Chain A
Amino acid sequence: MRLYVLHRMGQAAVVLWAAYTVSFLILVLLPGDAIAALTGAGGAAASVSPERLAELRREYGVDKPVLVQYGTHLADAVRGDFGASFATGRPVGSLIAEALPQTLTLTLTALALALVLGAGVALAATYGSRPWLRQLLLSLPPLVGSVPAFWVGLMLIQFLSFRFRIFPAFGDDGWRGLVLPALTLAVPTAAIVAQVLARSLTTALAEPYVRTARAKGAGPVRVHLRHALRNASLPALTVAGLLVGGLLANSVLVETVFSRNGLGRVIVAAVTAQDVPVVQGVVVLSAAVFVVVNLIVDLLSPLVDPRIVLTGTGGRT
């Protein structure tokens, strides 16, 4: 078990290193002059002399050979130092740390909401034998998947904030301000949960153990929740990494729609200003979240299904 954890942590470190390298390749090697963009950001591009530009390049270390840049940046990143923002000069780490709590509150609320909504739809669709209800509920997730998340947010603001004045449209104070953004963020995630869970519930309900449980006199609710759901939740658990990644990505749009502070606003501002260190920091963070969530899922899966044994070489049997 300990060996397994160590092995997986090693794998996670390799993925993170690779994600850092990919973001470095994209951001530093592609044509696009961050320093010129930086000085031109205020519309004063003409006022910056070539000498001053060269000086700035030296200051930010972008005049050195690429491999040297990569080496120094990577060494810094390993120590947790992602450099300073081009635009504000503040360390990327503290910029992210400042914005993270709001985004975490939003995404975790949305995740909880999505799990409840998604599981609700999947359970209702597979429970009982009303084909029309089943058809209706199962056609919802693909429909939701075709709707832009930011548009859902705008529609919610329009109806629930402006027309009926139930929830505030903007700002990040209190739980009332959290309802609409969390709902917007939860809807696409809930669609994926519902799809995966409905499929695995259908498979589970056809298994012999369900018939055994029924034969032993278990009621339909007990069979559904105690026997089928527990077995069906494992496939849903394996997409958790994908779900959390999607939540983090969609939070960029949702935070923009609802004018909330958070990681999404930080990256949108950074992309607009071509603030390379900040963008890179957020990208690597998102990869780290994906890796950590997958690691947690793998460690949790033996609790859901005791037949899974974690072995030292990283395989699961």
Chain B
Amino acid sequence: MTTSLLRRPGLALSVLVVALVVLAACLPGLLAPADPLRGVPEQRFQPPSASHWFGTDELGRDLYARVVHGAALSLKATLVAVAVAFVAGGAIGGVAGFAGGRIDGVLMRAVDVLLSIPALFLSLALVTALGRGTLNVAVAVGAASVAAFSRVMRAEVLRVRQAAYVDAARVCGVRWGGVLFRHVLPNARGPVIALATLDLGTAVLAVASLGFLGYGAPPPAPEWGTLISGGRDYLANAWWLSTLPGLVVVATVLSLNRIARALDGERLHR
């Protein structure tokens, strides 16, 4: 594992970036000792320097500390979103593929309808119904990718269901629950997990987008999308306020996608 990582510097860098983001989310104080919420009025709009790596904002708060502390909210929202899509999509796709017949038809038509509504609009409808806040945004983002997960899960269950060992288990008298949970699902999960890793990057972007529109965490709390939109009013005189948090989002998404591709490639090679 380590030698193959060293031979692929891009992948190694991606793992490092994601590790840093996870560290920032779990132990923000370790990476940025400064208080993300307390501003020093005399130090407003300081450009990036040795003492303030990312500069300071309109209230004199340290932007680097805000980005580091924002990782927790953004990462939590991302994980919740992917979990919602994984569980709901997996359940719908699993039931559709396993039950077949009319249930399959009805469920998959419903999924097709979800696909005809652009993801952002679906999320916005859910935010309207659920209200604002990080958790609601996460659920809304996750719901928008349920359709993709259902399709992959269904296709996999259909593929596995025809395997000889599934027939064998049935013939041996294993009940349907046992067949589903012990034989079908464990063998069908590979592509769904690959999709989940790929969906992490998409979810980071979607959560940031909804945060940018102002539906994420309420103001003083730092969140990546909110931080980018917060710098919007000062683009002319404080370039760092939107640019640097945006670069952090880009680096995170790029790294997540790179890792997802590597995992997918290894799965296909095996």
Interface residues of A (CB under 8 A from B): 15, 18-19, 22-23, 26-27, 30-32, 142-143, 145-151, 154-155, 157-158, 162, 169, 245-246, 248-250, 252-253, 256-257, 267-268, 270-272, 274-276, 279-280, 282-283, 286-287, 290-291
Contacts and interface: CB of A to CB of B under 8 A. Distances in A.
B170 interface: no
B113 A19 contact: yes
Interface in B94-124: 109-110, 112-114, 116-122, 124
B125 A146 contact: no
B73 interface: no
A267 B109 contact: no
A271 B128 contact: yes
Contacts of B68: none
B126 interface: yes
Given A150-B228, A155-B243, A257-B232, A252 B213 contact: yes
A245 B231 CA distance: 28
Contacts of A279: 124-125, 128
Given A154-B232, A158-B242, 11 more contacts: A18-B113, A30-B126, A32-B129, A146-B257, A154-B231, A158-B235, A245-B116, A249-B119, A279-B125, A283-B125, A290-B117
Contacts, number: 136
B228 A253 contact: no
A276 B128 contact: yes
Contacts of A249: 118-121
Interface stretch (B19-27, B82-90, B248-256, B262-270): B248-256
A252 B120 contact: yes
B213 A148 contact: no
A32 B130 contact: yes
28 contacts: A18-B110, A26-B125, A26-B126, A27-B129, A30-B129, A32-B130, A32-B131, A146-B250, A148-B205, A149-B209, A151-B228, A154-B235, A155-B242, A155-B243, A155-B246, A248-B121, A250-B120, A253-B209, A256-B212, A267-B121, A267-B124, A271-B127, A271-B213, A275-B128, A279-B124, A287-B117, A290-B116, A290-B118
A303 B220 CA distance: 56
Interface residues of B, number: 44
A64 B109 CA distance: 29
A60 to B, nearest CB: 15
Given A26-B125, A246-B118, A257-B232, A148 B249 contact: yes
Nearest to B242: A154
Contacts of B209: 148-150, 253
Nearest 7 interchain pairs by C-beta:
A249-B120, A30-B129, A151-B246, A249-B118, A18-B113, A245-B118, A146-B253
B54 interface: no
B236 interface: yes
A89 B113 CA distance: 30
A15 B112 contact: yes
A238 to B, nearest CB: 14
A146 B201 contact: yes
A280 B118 CA distance: 13
Given A143-B254, A279-B124, A286 B118 contact: yes
B125 A280 contact: yes
B23 to A, nearest CB: 21
A31 B130 CA distance: 7
A244 B166 CA distance: 42
B116 to A, nearest CB: 5
B214 interface: yes
B254 A146 contact: yes
Nearest to A28: B129
B64 interface: no
Nearest to A267: B124
Contacts of A250: 120
A246 B229 CA distance: 21
Nearest to B131: A32
Given A18-B113, A22-B113, A274 B128 contact: yes
A266 B131 CA distance: 17
Contacts of B113: 15, 18-19, 22, 287
A64 B125 CA distance: 22
Contacts of A32: 128-131
